[in-house]
A and B are shown apart, each in its own frame.
Chain A
Amino acid sequence: MRIAAPVASVAEVEPVLTAGADEIYFGVVERTRSERFGDAPQNRRLFANLASVDEMRRVVDLARRRGARTALTLNAPHYTDAQVDALCVLAAAFAADGGDAVIVGDFGLLVALQALAIRRLELHASSILACRNAAMVAVLSDLVVRRVVLPRFLTLAEVASMVARSRPMAFESFVMNDACFHEEGHCRTNHLAPADGGPFCLEPMETHHVARDGRPLPTDLAAKLRELDRDCCAWKWAMSSRGFTSTPWGLPYSPCGLCAIPALDAAGVGWLKVAGRFGPTARKLASIEAVRAARDLWLDHRDGAELVRFCQGLRGVPDACRTGRMCFYPEVAQGSPEH
């Protein structure tokens, strides 16, 4: 099992690779492209992209010297025809510089890149494409996609079912950082600046429940719904790195799937994804090191119970881990011996 991790600058390449990444991924948003396409989405994590093709070239060169792979994210959920044309040019330049893969979030761009058949360039399906079944993998396979990044909220049973029916496609699963409360492939909202409300799913909004038949809600039901709302806020807080905080040693209290490594390995998931392109370098490094340590422990000992103990001790809040509320795959926490 190998680790894919993000970089947001040239300076991050060396430390990220040293921390344990086998592949680095990054976006490039050039100023000229921003000027040309205005407010049309360019990439995810808009403020954590490389700023030029020259920077991209340096990143690829540094990674190649270290024997690591590089992947360029082209993962806005929707591109116009004009953007598709521009991004095909960027992808060709990336391949010419020695880049290995593009992570694509838009079907139209995927079709265009398939038609272009850029030599040596692998196509990877972003989680934005929300691939949840083997038939979808077949669609992607027809488009010569070589790797599928799975959505965050799948059960391990769903992962195993899909992967088993989809060989020889490669799969990548999120195991560290950055929950999405909606399915990101079906979320059409903006992550606004904090002063403007921030992400839609985290903005504190006034809400009230209503009965759909127009009658008043019974008092006891209304009280239960208020309790559910409070609990949902607590869950979102836990899944948002416990209020976007980290341990004193820099590891974010972020959602993770490390305890599920044995199940992912058994299913045939070959790549473990560390998210968090926009985070500070220290957060990236601590995250990658944790994933590497967990992966190595599993590969060396093949002892799932030992791995769960190790992972739940990583942040010093094992009780929080055991609730499953910091988990991409909470069924593992629920089934762990300590639960």
Chain B
Amino acid sequence: MGDRDDRPVVEVARLFGTPAAALSGLLRWSQAGRVRRDGREAAFGGSTHWPRRAYIGSEACERLLPSDAEARRLEDVAAGRPDVRTTLVFPPASDATVERALRLVALMPSTGEVVVNDLGLGRALREARPTLQVVAGRLLLRNTRDPRVRTTPTTAHDEAGAIGTAFASLLARLGIGRIEMDLGQASAQPAPPPLGLHLSVHVTSRVVAVGPICVVGNLHLAQRDRFRAGNPCRRECLSIETHGVSRIGGIERATFSVVGNAVLHRNGAPEMAALRLMRRVGIVDRVVVVDHGEP
């Protein structure tokens, strides 16, 4: 898959917000061979970069993982499309979610791919299925990215370059060869991640914070039961999100959205500039576009 200006090959992945959306997406790919281009895909890849990898699951919430039946159906559909690959995406995990993840990956091909946002989960999945491709999710990179704090060229950190060598060696020990990251402001000389780690970047939004409490998920509960870890939800996050603005002295300084238990900041021109720079020097080989149903 080349590109018109001979930039390095980049795989485009799309994270679907729900198993149903993923199924629908895969079927559309099956029928039409492509999905709708959105602005970011076009800005990034041009016409040759239709998504070829479907991300299914959630980076932030244990409640949004597919059921066993949904996972089976998705794998069946994906099996009919050898040009489309699937990746299961997992959030930070409790013991119960680790067990659930083990069941879900048992439904995948043995050489399938997972994104984990919990190193314990990564270890458990690799132990259970040693040929599984395990990717370190973006929540594992924890540079400060408060949208209220304006970075300047002198304070901009190149996130790929900020992946420490020791951390990379831990990922290697755990059999992890790829890491995902958010986009920050461009630094002058973006550096590749150490130890030959492959790099994926999220182009839609960056994660500001993920919490144990999903506020909107407490909507259906009586006051006395609200805001407790482990509360049941009705997946309210799939239909409602919150937009917020931080102002200082009456002047807008940051916008964000709250989707379920995740606070996100939509990427804009500075982040896209960072991506173009990183791509020019060839350190990114996958971009992830998040579907409307993020996270």
**Shortest Cβ distance from B184 into chain A, in angstroms?**
10
The residue of chain A having its C-beta at the shortest distance from the C-beta of B265 within the complex is A188
A132 to B101, CA, bound (A): 14
Instruction: Give the residues in chain A near B4, CB-CB below 8 Å.
Output: none
Tell me how far the C-beta of A318 lies from the nearest C-beta in chain B, rounded to whole angstroms.
Answer: 15
A108→B98 contact, CB < 8 A: no
Contact of B155 among A39, A188, A205, A231 (CB under 8 A): A39
A264 to B170, CA, bound (A): 31
A138 partner residues in chain B, CB cutoff 8 A: 120, 123
CB pair A108 B228 closer than 8 Å: no
Select A182's contact among B97, B173, B211, beta carbons within 8 Å.
B211
Q: How far is the CB of A274 from chain B (nearest CB, A)?
A: 21
Contact residue among B97, B142, B224 (Cβ-Cβ distance under 8 Å from A77): B142
Residues of A within 8 A of B140 (CB): 107
- Given the complex, which residues of B lie within 8 Å of A190, measured CB to CB? 144, 146, 148-149
Q: Name the distance in Å between B59's Cβ and chain A's nearest Cβ.
A: 10
- List residues of A (137-161) whose CB comes within 8 Å of B's CBs: 137-139, 142-143, 151-155, 157-158, 161
Chain B residues with CB under 8 A of A4: none
Segment at the interface with B among A7-15, A55-63, A79-87: A79-87
Are A108 and B170 in contact, CB atoms less than 8 angstroms apart? yes
Q: Contact between A112 and B228 (Cβ–Cβ < 8 Å)?
A: no
Q: How many angstroms between the C-alpha atoms of A256 and B256 in the bound complex?
A: 30
Note all chain B residues with C-beta closer than 8 A to A244: none
A119 interface residue per 8 A CB criterion: no
Q: Which residues of B contact A16 (CB under 8 A)?
A: none
Total A residues in contact with B, Cβ cutoff 8 Å: 79
Chain A hits for B165, CB < 8 A? 81, 108
CB distance from B185 to the nearest CB of A (A): 14
Residue contact A212 to B292, C-beta cutoff 8 Å = yes
Interface string of A111-132 (1 = CB under 8 A from B): 1100100000000000010111
- Interface residue B213 (Cβ < 8 Å from any Cβ of A): yes
In the complex the two chains form, what is the Cα distance from A206 to B255 in whole Å? 10
Chain B: residues with Cβ within 8 Å of the partner, total of 68
Interface of chain B, main secondary structure: mixed
Give the residues in chain B near A157, CB-CB below 8 Å.
Answer: 230
Alpha-carbon separation in the docked complex, A3 to B242 (Å): 40
Task: Tell me if B35 is interfacial: C-beta within 8 Å of chain A.
Answer: no
29 contacts between A and B (CB under 8 A): A41-B144, A77-B144, A78-B142, A107-B140, A108-B164, A108-B167, A111-B169, A111-B170, A134-B98, A135-B98, A136-B118, A153-B229, A158-B96, A158-B230, A161-B96, A182-B209, A186-B211, A187-B211, A190-B148, A196-B248, A200-B148, A205-B244, A206-B247, A207-B243, A209-B240, A212-B240, A213-B239, A232-B226, A323-B224
Query: Can you name 6 extra interface pairs (CB under 8 A) apart from A181-B213, A188-B143, A209-B241?
Result: A133-B94, A138-B123, A155-B230, A186-B207, A187-B209, A188-B145
Which B residues lie at the A interface, using CB under 8 A? Answer: 92-98, 117-121, 123-124, 139-146, 148-149, 155, 157, 162, 164-167, 169-170, 173-174, 207-213, 215-216, 218-219, 223-224, 226-230, 238-248, 258, 263, 292-293
Query: Which 5 interchain pairs have the tightest Cβ spacing?
Result: A136-B120, A108-B164, A135-B120, A153-B212, A108-B167
